[in-house]
Amino acid sequence: MIETDILIIGAGPTGLFTVFEAGLLRMKCHIIDALPQMGGQLSELYPKKPIFDIPGFPSVLAGDLIDNLHEQIKQFEPGFTLNERADSLNRLQDGSFEVITNKGTVHKAKAVIIAGGLGSFEPKKPPLKNISSFEDNGVNYFVKRPEDYRGKKIVIAGGGDSALDWTIHLAEIASSVSLVHRRNEFRGALDSVEKVKKLKQNGKINLITPAEVIELHGKEKLSAISVERDGAIEIIDTDYLIPLFGLVPKLGPIGDWGLDIEKNAIKVDNSTDFSTNIPGIYAVGDINTYPYKMKLILCGFHEAAIVCQSIYQRLNPNKKFILKYTTVSGVDGFDGSRKEAEKQVVTAI
């Protein structure tokens, strides 16, 4: 059982920055994310794109922003449960919450902040009838540890950046890599397309286009696949099939937790503290909705700051929340008395 003050569901930019705001107030955080890495949409959908509306950064690559947010919160030592989806939520008798993931990890927290963005990203699965029986037995929708593929035969299916990037990367590691795509053209970066074509010319990979995987074979583990190209069927021996057809966001289990939902988003009270209809549960970032809501990173950051001071007051009813400037207090001095804070502000002025 993992115990923490605040459990954050979603390791996108909002969830990550929430750790910082909570850390200033000496509240410990743990984050759950369904994806194997942090960063939400920024890591998954546009890591190499520049963002122009982060205050103070005329331009910052999405991937760099996530790296910086991670660097900024390291000092507060948040815990992470990655690659697991928060599935169920129960309120316990002492008023705290228990959240259990799809892999059975149990988390207990005094407050829950849902920073789930567009919902948990689920891989788009190819419509192959027995695919679920091979999941984790030869069919993988994510490449978590490239080393697992050393010396193995691999088929990658897809035509976007992920399919191209992993084909290039795994060509160095696997004993054979075949890339199957239903068109002759690819949707990924031109540079990656060029690299893949070069690998094919040098005999380092098999490029099978326009073609589709139509059947999986094997007893308990995957051993081969059937591919259809121009009406002809070819059987390819393989240890792994990695379908990389993108991800679909799904509100998923969060929709069944008794929260007020409007158009796939959680209704919150923006006149106070972004609380949901369940006391002790808050929602920040893209997943919440209220009048004039803007699904922007900077709005998520603002909401995170408000929520954290509200939780601080809830968990410390006898202490008064005092707004302090990090320029004055640094990140260590946030738990002093009003007098001390006022003194600091006066000194600063």
Contact positions toward ligand FAD, by CB under 6 A?
9-15, 32-35, 40-42, 45-46, 51, 53, 85-86, 115-121, 252-254, 285-286, 295-298, 300
Write the DSSP string, 83-95. Answer: S--EEEEEE-TTS
Q: Compute the least distance from the CB of residue 234 to ligand FAD, in Å.
A: 36
Is residue 253 classed exposed, middle or buried when 0-12, 13-18 and 19+ CB atoms within 10 A define those classes? middle
Closer of 10 and 138 to ligand FAD (Cβ): 10
Residue closer to ligand FAD by CB (options 40, 280) is 40
Name the burial class of residue 159, with classes exposed (0-12), middle (13-18) and buried (19+) by CB atoms within 10 angstroms of its CB.
buried
Beta strand segments in 115-185, E = 120-123, 153-157, 176-180
Residue in the block written with tokens 């099939």: 241
Rounded least distance, CB 78 to ligand FAD, Å: 14
Give least dist CB 51 to ligand FAD, A: 4
* Closest CB 101 distance from ligand FAD, rounded Å: 7
Shortest CB 44 distance to ligand FAD, Å: 7
Cα 83 from Cα 102, distance rounded (Å):
10
Q: Which is nearer to ligand FAD, 40 or 138 (CB)?
A: 40
Beta-carbon count within 10 A of 288 CB: 27
> Which of residues 119 and 158 has its CB atom nearest to ligand FAD in the complex?
119
The SS3 assignment for 295 reads coil
Q: Which is nearer to ligand FAD, 28 or 295 (CB)?
A: 295
- Residue 330 C-beta: closest distance to ligand FAD, Å: 26
Residue 210 phi, psi (nearest 5): -75, 125
Closer to ligand FAD at the Cβ: 163 or 254?
254
Residue 63: helix, strand or coil by DSSP?
helix
β-strands 281-283, 106-114 pairing = parallel
Q: Which residue is nearest to ligand FAD (CB)?
A: 117
